[in-house]
Structure 1
Amino acid sequence: MTDVEKMVAQLDELIQSTDLLTTWSQEVFELRHNYTRAQTLATRMEAAIERVSPPGSAYFKEMEKARTVGLQDRVDIVRSTVIALRDDLRAGYLSTIVELVHADLYSDYLEMADGLLGTRHKDAAAVITGTSLEVHVRALCVKHGVDIEQPNGAPKKADVMNADLKRAGVYETLQQKHITAWMDLRNKAAHGDYSAYDEHQVRLFIDGVRGFMLKYPA
């Protein structure tokens, strides 16, 4: 299963989870346990939109609009947005040819990291994931016209490119901080500081980088 197929499956699961909500009357919807469930599902759908859709897209704008209305309307809006996002992902409307080539390449490396982690080789998995992350950050710089070399011609370090991408508005401060933390874990793995992290952190590392590459294709 490709990364895009995984995201489509996750969105499908969210849509199915909200099917019952759309048939509830106002009185049933406002029952305390139903209201809490609706809040939880709305938050999960919004998180999925933020995780998958390109920044500044129509999906984001619809989600922002949903946050200004009541919960029942909010659920309806974000659910419709998730359906549109799923259908567009499935139809391939969110990827250019170059992005698809990169996505396939990165997917292969992350699948390799998955396999290594599954056989308890967390350190090799962390190094491979970190290398994939740095290559993707560099590719994002090329895509968005951000210099990948210093004035003297030397290549920029990953943390510098990360800061430059944030400064260029490619992503926000929170994403920059995530990447900084991921690169720190990669550096620990590359320099033999194996006791500084565990398998659970490497799992979060792999999943986080996969989501980052889907959200910010290069």
Structure 2
Amino acid sequence: MKTEDLVKSVDLLIEKASQVLSTARTSGYRTVVEEELFNEFRASSLSFLNKLFGTSHTYYKEFDKNVAGTYPSRTESGRGILQAVKTEIENGWLYQIKDFISAEIFSDFLEMAEYLLVNKYKDPAAVMIGSVLEEHIRQLCDKNSIETFTTDSKGKQKPKKADLLNAELTKANVYNKLDQKNITAWLDLRNNAAHGKYSEYNKDQVDSMHRGVLEFLGRLSI
């Protein structure tokens, strides 16, 4: 497919995201979008990303993980990813993409979050930064021989909550109490964004979170 055709295809998906967001309605304490239209947007976008990159690529994985559920921030996350894909296509980067090692994947998503913040999409940026932070915490646990799964009463393994891993890393002196406090605040902000509580934080706080997570990942590398 020619570059101009790819751009047209991704533009249609970005427009579909805007249509989904235009259906946002407040129901009780939650703001949600129209489910059928959201599902159409999600399915079409995943199909496009699969054909373009394959299911193992970070764009596909990030879209599949974060664009799930009818909170507006999930659709905004998807639109942000598609905008990043469009930029790659327009700048001719698409055919230069190689497999990334873990640290490069993190850098890529933090740069994507910065792009979202510059364009005032604080909510999907917060979700994306928080996802990078949580994955880094889990990898720090693996590096320091801290179990990341727990077994319930039925013998089924479940991943530990990020807050518990944060506490265990602090107890193991992987980092200090101040880092623990900052991580708790960042995870709370991410959870607010993921659950549609957009008035609980502002863009300046997400900017601060972005800077803090960048510094933390650089200081405690895997």
Letter in 1 for 2:117: L
> Which residue does 2:9 correspond to in 1?
none
Which residue, 177, 189, 195 being the options, matches 2:193?
189
> Which residue does 1:173 correspond to in 2?
177
**Backbone CA RMSD of aligned residues:** 1.2
In the alignment, the residues of structure 1 paired with residue 219 and residue 168 of structure 2 have an alpha-carbon distance, to the nearest angstrom, of 18
> Which residue does 2:214 correspond to in 1?
210
TM-score, structure 1 normalization: 0.53
> Which residue does 1:127 correspond to in 2?
127
Are 2:144 and 1:144 equivalent residues in the alignment? yes
Letter in 2 for 1:120: K
In the alignment, the residues of structure 1 paired with residue 189 and residue 144 of structure 2 have an alpha-carbon distance, to the nearest angstrom, of 26
Q: Which structure dedicates a bigger proportion of its chain to helix? A: 1
> Which residue does 1:27 correspond to in 2?
none
Shift of residue 103, structure 1, vs aligned partner: 2.1
Letter in 2 for 1:111: E
In the alignment, the residues of structure 2 paired with residue 211 and residue 104 of structure 1 have an alpha-carbon distance, to the nearest angstrom, of 15
Number of aligned residues? 119
In the alignment, the residues of structure 2 paired with residue 101 and residue 216 of structure 1 have an alpha-carbon distance, to the nearest angstrom, of 17
Greater relative contact order structure (CA < 8 Å, 6+ sep) = 1
TM-score, structure 2 normalization: 0.52
Q: What secondary structure, in the 3-state scheme, does the structure 1 residue paired with 2:101 have?
A: helix
Q: What secondary structure, in the 3-state scheme, does the structure 2 residue paired with 1:170 have?
A: coil
Q: What secondary structure, in the 3-state scheme, does the structure 2 residue paired with 1:135 have?
A: helix
- Map 1:15-164 onto structure 2 (within 5 A): 101-152=101-152, 153-164=157-168
Question: What whole-Å deviation, never above 9, does each CA across 1:22-75 have from its counterpart, x for those lacking one?
Answer: xxxxxxxxxxxxxxxxxxxxxxxxxxxxxxxxxxxxxxxxxxxxxxxxxxxxxx
Question: Unaligned 5+ residue runs, structure 1?
Answer: 1-99
1:103–1:213: 8 Å Cα contact kept in structure 2?
Answer: no
> Which residue does 2:43 correspond to in 1?
none
> Which residue does 1:11 correspond to in 2?
none
Q: Which structure dedicates a bigger proportion of its chain to strand? A: 2
> Which residue does 2:48 correspond to in 1?
none
In the alignment, the residues of structure 2 paired with residue 206 and residue 165 of structure 1 have an alpha-carbon distance, to the nearest angstrom, of 21
Shift of residue 191, structure 1, vs aligned partner: 0.5
Shift of residue 101, structure 1, vs aligned partner: 2.9
